[in-house]
Amino acid sequence: MHYFNQAAGGLMPDRVLQAVTDYMQREQALGSYVAAQQAQPQLQQLYAQLAALLHCQPADIALTTGNTHGWCAVVGALPLQAGDRVLVTPGEWGGNYAMLLQLQARTGCVVETMPCTADGHIDLEALEAGLDARVQLIALTWVPANGSTVYDAQALGQLCARHGIPYIIDAAQALGHIPVDVQALQCDVLTAPGRKWLCGPRGTGLVYLKPGFAARLQPMTVDHVSCPITPTGPVLRQGARMLEQSESSVALKLGLLAALDTAQAEGWAQRFTAIAERARQLRSALADVPGLRLHSLAAAPADCGIVPFTLQGHTPAQVQQALLQCHIQVAASGMGFTPLDMQARDLSAVVRASVSAHTTDADIQALVQALQTLSAAPAR
């Protein structure tokens, strides 16, 4: 299989699958509680690995079941009120946007789209001019799911820090794809899944909370781990771990640790460089396919690992299925993934090809040749 669907889920290395199955066998032999207790040293290594990758402390990390789980847990815990303003970019992930619209209906907060330039940059000058005391959250999907651009998350963080505005970054398509440093970003919250660019198992994820930010949160869902009952009443855990609950898969967490170990052994810097090089190579090759149109915004860097396009005479779903017959996997990214951006550009869907550090010349050649053949075929 020529795999161009990293943005949906990275292919797990063998050692990830082995780590998951090894733990499940221990759980079968020992029972879930004893096995989990024995795995505690490895779980502490997982927090440490993630903290090193993000440039924070292990205590600032909470483990989740995925990006949306963590993002919604934090945003749903913010004390938003009627009239509060929540600002998003046009590239906001559809799942996040749905959550915000629910909060808008429930609390009376107002969800607004940040001003952007014609080429897709956030218009920081216009944004800053429009800020007031009602702005209670700025939310950024750093790399939109349809690959439209890569926003300047650090510049936006500087603006938020100047004005004391809570700043949350959805790094679902960033962590493991490009370098992430929460200190440089100056974000209060950052969320990511384990299954995409980290190549961990599905059902894993993380939340970073800036020290002290947890005091702002009022979690909607707690249990005996996140909020144990004491003789004097319930006591909410402090820091990021207030977002964790008792029911979770230790096996999948150990799989994520194995994925991080694999990437660390290869070298994170080498991985980022390889992704960027393959992305540039793919964009250049696709530009020569007749009838193919790239749909990244003008501001998008050429080395973004997500490459969106359409092929004249064929819907994205048709392209996806035709390529699958050639043992090539891409995604058909519908409007619901990035509704604000797609509606603004009158796009119902795009084909999304995403590379990895292990994408080869042969992979790219196979994709381009298949698209050239499809382009020459009669439209359906």
Domains belonging to the chain, first-starting first, are: 2-8+267-376 (3.90.1150.10), 14-266 (3.40.640.10)
Residue 377: pLDDT band with limits 50, 70, 90: confident
Summarize the confidence of residues 232-238 as an average pLDDT.
Answer: 90
Residue 380: pLDDT band with limits 50, 70, 90: low
Helix 14-30 and helix 250-266, axial crossing angle in degrees, nearest 10: 150
* Mean of pLDDT over the chain: 97
Residue 379: pLDDT band with limits 50, 70, 90: low
Q: Is the pLDDT of residue 329 over 80?
A: yes
Q: Is the pLDDT of residue 45 over 80?
A: yes
Q: Are strands 167-170 and 2-3 parallel, antiparallel or unpaired?
A: unpaired
Give, in degrees to the nearest 5, the angle at Cα 164 between 160 and 166. 65
Q: Are 363 and 2 in contact (CB under 8 A)?
A: yes
Summarize the confidence of residues 75-79 as an average pLDDT.
Answer: 97
Picking from 82-86, 162-166, 223-227, which range would have the lowest pLDDT averaged per residue? 223-227
pLDDT value for 220:
85
Q: Phi and psi for 86 in degrees, rounded to 5?
A: -120, 120
pTM for this model (two decimals): 0.97
pLDDT value for 18:
99
122 alpha carbon, distance to own chain's centre? 19
